[in-house]
A and B are shown apart, each in its own frame.
Chain A
Amino acid sequence: MAQLYPEWANKAPRSILLGLILTILAVILGFWYYGSPKHLEVGYAPVQPIDYSHKLHAGILGIDCQYCHTSVTVSAVASVPSTQTCMNCHSQIQLDSEKLEPLRESWETGKSIEWVHIHRLPDYTYFNHSAHVNVGIGCASCHGRVDRMEVVMQVEPLSMGWCLDCHNNPEPHIRPVQEITNMAWAPDENQFEFARMVIEKKNLNPPIYCNACHR
C-alpha cells in the first residue's frame, strides 16, 4: 500500500502545536496592546464646533482653568463653560471674528454650543473631580499640558489600570493645593517627603476596592 502521507507530515504535529501556541499568544498580546485605551484613545482630538484654542486662552493669555471650569473643586464634574462665560469677554472683543459666529448665534438663540466630549469614562465608572483636585492632584496630571494645545487632545489612556497606577502609588502626583491649575508645576527634589507629609496630614488612602468607582 502506498504511503498515505508525504514525509513532511512527520513534522506537521510539532509545527501545528507551535503555530497554535504562537497564534494564541499573538491574539492575547495583540488585544492587550492594540485593544488598550493607550493605543486606541490617547491622541483623540476631535474637531470642536468652535475653533477654540486652549493654547491662546490658558497659555498665552494665562486665564486660570477655573475661570471656565468653575465647579471642579466642589463637584464631581469640572463643567464645560456656558456661552455666557465666553461672552464675559467676547461681548467686547473680537466682535466681528468669523470664527466666533457660532458663539454669537448661541448667545442670540439661547441654544447651547454642542462641545464634543473628549475625556470620557464609561457610564459604570464614578469619578469625582473635587475629590482629586482638593487633595492636590493637578489638572495637568490627567489632562496634560492643555496650555500648549491648539486643539485639546487626550494624552492619558484613562484606563482602569492607569487609574490604579496612581491610586497604588500617589506620591509622584501630589502637589500643593494652590498649584493645582499651574500647568508648569514640576516636583521638587523633596517631592516624596512632601507627598508623604500631605498623605499623612490629610489621611489620604486612595481606594483600590471595586466599590470605590463602580458603585
Chain B
Amino acid sequence: MSKKYEYVPEQPLVQGNHTFSSITSLIGDIVERPTPMWWYIAFGVSNLLLAMLLGMIAYLVWEGTGIWGLNNPVGWGWAIINFVWWVGIGHAGTLISAILFLFRQGWRTAINRFAEAMTIFAVMCAGIFPAIHVGRIWVVYWMFPIPNQMQMWPNFNSPLLWDVFAVSTYFTVSLLFWYVGLVPDFATLRDRVKSKFGRIIYGFFALGWTGGNRQWQHYEKSYLILAGLATPLVLSVHTIVSFDFAVSIIPGWHTTIFPPYFVAGAIFSGFAMVMTLMIIARKIYGLEDIMTINHIEKMNMIILVTGTMVGFAYVMEFFIAWYGGVEYEKFAFINRAIGPYAWAYWLMFLCNVFSPQFFWSKRIRRSVTASFILSIVVNIGMWFERFVITVTSLAQDFLPGSWGYYSPTWVDVLTYVGTFGLFFTNFLLFLRFMPMVAIAEIKMVMPQADPHYYDENGDEPVLTDKFAKKPDVNA
C-alpha cells in the first residue's frame, strides 16, 4: 500500500521547441523550395510504372481476362487480392483522421494529412481492379443504377454491388474530409508563395479562406460532422469487402468472423503502410520534430494489437472449422496449412502474427530501422493473407475432380506492380505541392498552444523537462 505512483506527463507532441511560425516555415517551405533532384527521379520511375499499368489495362481490354492466370476452379485471382489489399491499406487513413479525432488523440495531427492522402490514392488503386475485371469494360456502368432500355437493374442481393457503393462512398467521404482539412493550409500557402500562378492555384482551392472567427467555427463544425460520417465507414467498408467472400458458400469463406477479422487486418496493413511512407518522408523532409519517435511507438502499438487480433482470427478459424464439424470446412483449413498452398499460408502467418510480436519490446518499438523493416514485412503478409483466402478455397473445393492449381501470369504481376506507379505518382505530387502535415492543426497540439504554457510574466518556461530539447539557436 505504500507504493507511490508518480504522474508521468505525456511527452510534448511537437518537439524541438518550435514556435508557431517555425512550424509554418518547416512545412510550407517544402512546397516553396525548388523541386529537388531525387523527386524528379522518383517521379520519373513512378510515371514509367504508371505507363506500364495503363499498357496492361489496354492489353486486358483488347484481349480479355484470358490473359490473367485465372482457370476453371480459380475464377478469382490477383484482381480481387490486389483490390482487397489496396482498400485495406486505405483504412488506416480513415481511422487516424476520423476515429482518433473523435477520441481526441492529439498525436494524430502529425500524420493525418499524410495518411488521408494515402487512403485516397490507395482507394484509387483498389478501384481499378473491380472496374477492369468485368471483361467488357465498356458496359461497366451496368454496376450503377442508371435507367436503361433493357430494364436492367443492379442485383441488390449481391455483395459485389454493395462493394461498388461502399467503396465509392468511402472515396467520396475521404476526399471531402481531406479537402476540408486542407482549406486553411491552402490559404497559408496562398499567402506565402511568391509566384502569381501559385497564388491563383492555392487561392482557388483555399475557397477565399481568411482565417476569421466565424470561418473557424464553421470549419470545426464541418470537420467534426465529417469525422462522424467517416467513422462508421472505417468499419463498414471492409465489412462489406469481407461479404464478397462471407456471403458465398465456399468453405473457408462462409464464416461470420470475416467482417471483424477483415477490419482488423485492414487497419493492421494500413498502419504498416503509413509507417513505411512516414519513415521515408520524415527523414527526407526533416520532420523528426513533428513525426517523433513517440508517434512511431504509438503506431507500432496499434500494429501489435491489430496483428494479434488477426492472429487470433486465424486460430479461431481453425477452431470453428473443427468445432463446427463440417467436413468441407475442416478440409479447407487443414488444406490451407498442409496443402499445396502451405508455403503461402505459413508465409502469411509468419509475417502477420509472429513479426509484430517483436513490438512487445520497447526498444524495437522505438527503433526506426526495425519499424521500417517490420512495416514492409506486414504488408507482404497482408497481401498473402488475401491470396490464401481467395485461392486456397477455390483451388480445392467440393469436387476433387475439378481441383486445380493457380499461378499468375506476367500480366497479373505487371498490373499489380503498375498500381504502385499510380500510387506513387499521386503521392509524390501530393508531397511536392500540398502541405503534407496539417499546419493549422499541429499548432493546436503544441505546448505553446496551452494557455498556461507561458508564466505570469509572459515568458517561456524554464526547460526542466527531461524530454524537452534546448532551443535551437539557428532556428
Contact = CB atoms under 8 A, between A and B. Distances in A.
Nearest to A27: B146
Interface in A1-58: 4-5, 9-10, 13, 28-29, 32, 35-38
Interface residues of A, number: 19
Contact of B149 (A4, A28, A160): A160
A160 B148 CA distance: 10
A13 B204 CA distance: 10
Contacts of B203: 4-5
A161 interface: yes
* Category for how many chain B residues contact A: 10 to 19
A114 to B, nearest CB: 30
B200 A28 contact: no
A166 B410 CA distance: 49
A13 B147 CA distance: 29
A193 B199 CA distance: 76
A32 B147 CA distance: 6
Contacts of B199: 4
Interface in A146-188: 157, 159-162, 164-165
B149 A5 contact: no
Contacts of B151: 160-161, 164-165
A32 B190 contact: no
Contacts of A161: 148-151
A88 to B, nearest CB: 40
Interface in B142-179: 146-152
A187 to B, nearest CB: 24
Nearest to B147: A32
A123 B200 CA distance: 55
B207 interface: yes
Nearest to A39: B149
B149 A157 contact: yes
B225 to A, nearest CB: 18
Contacts of B204: 5
B208 interface: yes
A4 B147 contact: no
Contact of B147 (A28, A157, A160): A28
B200 A36 contact: no
Residue among A4, A159, A161 with the highest chain B CB neighbour number at 10 A: A4
A10 B150 CA distance: 43
Contacts of A9: 208
A13 B207 contact: yes
Residue among B147, B148, B149, B203 with the highest chain A CB neighbour number at 10 A: B149
Contacts, number: 36
Given A4-B190, A4-B199, A32 B207 contact: no
Nearest to B196: A4
A35 B148 CA distance: 9
Contacts of A35: 149
Contacts of A10: 208
A4 B146 CA distance: 41
A159 B149 contact: yes
Nearest to A161: B151
B138 to A, nearest CB: 13
A165 B151 CA distance: 9
A38 B200 CA distance: 49
A73 to B, nearest CB: 29
Interface string B180-200: 000000000010000000011
B97 to A, nearest CB: 23
Contacts of B190: 4
A37 B149 contact: yes
Contacts of B149: 32, 35-38, 157, 159-162
B148 A32 contact: yes
Residue among B146, B151, B199 with the highest chain A CB neighbour number at 10 A: B151
Contacts of A28: 146-147
Given A4-B190, A4-B199, A4-B203, A159 B150 contact: yes
A161 B148 CA distance: 8
Interface in A104-123: none
A4 B207 contact: no
A197 B358 CA distance: 77
Nearest to A36: B149
Interface string B199-213: 110011001100000
B363 to A, nearest CB: 51
A160 B208 contact: no
Contacts of B200: 4
A37 B146 CA distance: 16
A8 to B, nearest CB: 12
A71 B263 CA distance: 61
A162 B148 CA distance: 11
A15 B204 CA distance: 15
5 contacts: A5-B203, A32-B147, A32-B149, A37-B149, A161-B151
Q: What are the 8 closest A-B residue pairs judged by CB atoms, nearest first?
A: A161-B151, A160-B150, A36-B149, A159-B149, A4-B203, A32-B147, A161-B149, A164-B151
